[in-house]
Amino acid sequence: MAKPLVKRILLPFALLVLFYTAFRNTPVVPQPSAQYPNLFGEHQEPLHVPINRPFVNKSHTWDHWDAVDVFPTNVESKPVELEIPNQDSKTVRVSTPLILTVPQNSQRSIPQALLGQLECPRAPNRFTNHIRLPNLLYNISMSPRSAVSREERTFWNPTIFALPYWAKNQYIVVSMVTPDGEALRRNVLCEANICHPKSAAPRLAHERPCSEDDLDLLGPNGGLRCVTAPIEVTVPPTPAAKCEGREQVFADIPGFHDPRIFYSGRGEPILILSSQSQYACIGLWAIDLRAVYPDLEGTMASSPKRLGPGPVMSYPTLTELTRSPPSSRRSYEKNWVMFSPSSSSSYLQYELTSSRRTIAQLIGGGLTTPNITDPLEEPCLQDPTMEEIAGSHYNENSAWHQATPSLKLILCSRSNLTCNPEIADTVFFAIIQRKNVNILGLPVRYERYVVVWSAAPPFNMLAVSRHPILMANETTSSWTAEESWDDVPEALLENRPLWGRITYTTTIAYAWGREEKDVREKGTGHLDDDVILSIGVDDEGQAYARVKVSELLQCMRVCPGREQVNLDESED
Ligand SMILES: *[C@@H]1O[C@H](CO)[C@@H](O)[C@H](O)[C@H]1NC(C)=O
Ligand SMILES: *[C@@H]1O[C@H](CO)[C@@H](O)[C@H](O)[C@H]1NC(C)=O
Ligand SMILES: *[C@@H]1O[C@H](CO)[C@@H](O)[C@H](O)[C@H]1NC(C)=O
Ligand SMILES: *[C@@H]1O[C@H](CO)[C@@H](O)[C@H](O)[C@H]1NC(C)=O
Ligand SMILES: *[C@@H]1O[C@H](CO)[C@@H](O)[C@H](O)[C@H]1NC(C)=O
Render pLDDT for 285-341 as a digit per residue (tens, 0 to 9).
999 999 999 999 999 999 888 888 899 999 999 999 999 999 999 999 999 999 999
Q: For residue 59, which ligand has an atom nearest its CA?
A: 1
Q: For residue 412, which ligand has an atom nearest its CA?
A: 5
Q: What distance separates the 2 farthest-apart alpha carbons in the chain? A: 73
The CA 374 to ligand 4 mean position distance, Å, reads: 8
Residue 540 has pLDDT above 80, yes or no: no
Residue 483's H or E segment, with its range, is helix 481-484
In words, the CATH class of domain 113-563 is mainly beta
Residue 123 has pLDDT above 90, yes or no: yes
Banded model confidence at residue 107, pLDDT cuts 50, 70, 90: low
d(CA 449, CA 451): 7
Nearest to 353 by CA among 403, 402, 404, 405: 402
Query: Of 184 and 266, which is predicted with more confidence?
Result: 266
d(CA 467, CA 445): 14
Residue 77 has pLDDT above 60, yes or no: no
Helix and strand numbers (H, E) in the chain are 11, 29
Convert the pLDDT of each residue in 430-484 to its tens digit: 999 999 998 888 889 999 999 999 999 999 999 999 999 999 999 999 999 999 9
Maximum average pLDDT range among 63-72, 440-449, 542-551: 542-551
Q: What is the pLDDT of residue 467?
A: 97
3-state helix, strand, coil split of the chain in percent (to 5) is 15, 30, 55
CA 249 and chain centroid, separation: 26
Banded model confidence at residue 63, pLDDT cuts 50, 70, 90: very low
* Residues flanking ligand 4, CB < 6 Å: 328, 356, 358, 371, 373, 375
Convert the pLDDT of each residue in 372-412 to its tens digit: 999 999 999 999 999 889 888 998 899 999 999 999 999 99
Residue 154 has pLDDT above 70, yes or no: yes
Query: Of 204 and 396, which is predicted with more confidence?
Result: 396
Banded model confidence at residue 254, pLDDT cuts 50, 70, 90: confident
Domain residues of the chain, as ranges? 113-563
Task: Tell me the pLDDT of the chain averaged across its residues.
Answer: 82
Atom of ligand 2 nearest to the CA of 499: 13
Nearest to 138 by CA among 206, 207, 187: 207
Q: For residue 333, which ligand has an atom nearest its CA?
A: 4
Pocket test for ligand 4, best of 352, 371, 381 (most atoms within 8 A of CB): 371
Pocket test for ligand 1, best of 59, 92, 367 (most atoms within 8 A of CB): 59
State mean pLDDT over 412-427.
94
pTM metric for this prediction: 0.82
> What are the residues facing 42 on neighbouring strands?
none
Residue 205 has pLDDT above 80, yes or no: no
Residue 54 has pLDDT above 60, yes or no: no
Residue 163 has pLDDT above 90, yes or no: yes
Residue 105 has pLDDT above 80, yes or no: no
The CA 446 to ligand 4 mean position distance, Å, reads: 25
Banded model confidence at residue 81, pLDDT cuts 50, 70, 90: very low
Pocket test for ligand 5, best of 413, 417, 418 (most atoms within 8 A of CB): 418
Residue 68 has pLDDT above 90, yes or no: no
Nearest to 270 by CA among 224, 303, 225, 235: 235
Q: What is the pLDDT of residue 108?
A: 74
Whose C-alpha lies nearest to ligand 4, atom 5? Answer: 375
Above pLDDT 90, what percent of the chain? 64
Residue 87 has pLDDT above 70, yes or no: no
Whose C-alpha lies nearest to ligand 2, atom 2? Answer: 137
Nearest to 456 by CA among 531, 550, 380, 374: 374
Q: For residue 305, with 0-12 CB atoms within 10 Å meaning exposed, 13-18 middle and 19 or more buried, which class applies? A: exposed
Residue 39 has pLDDT above 70, yes or no: no
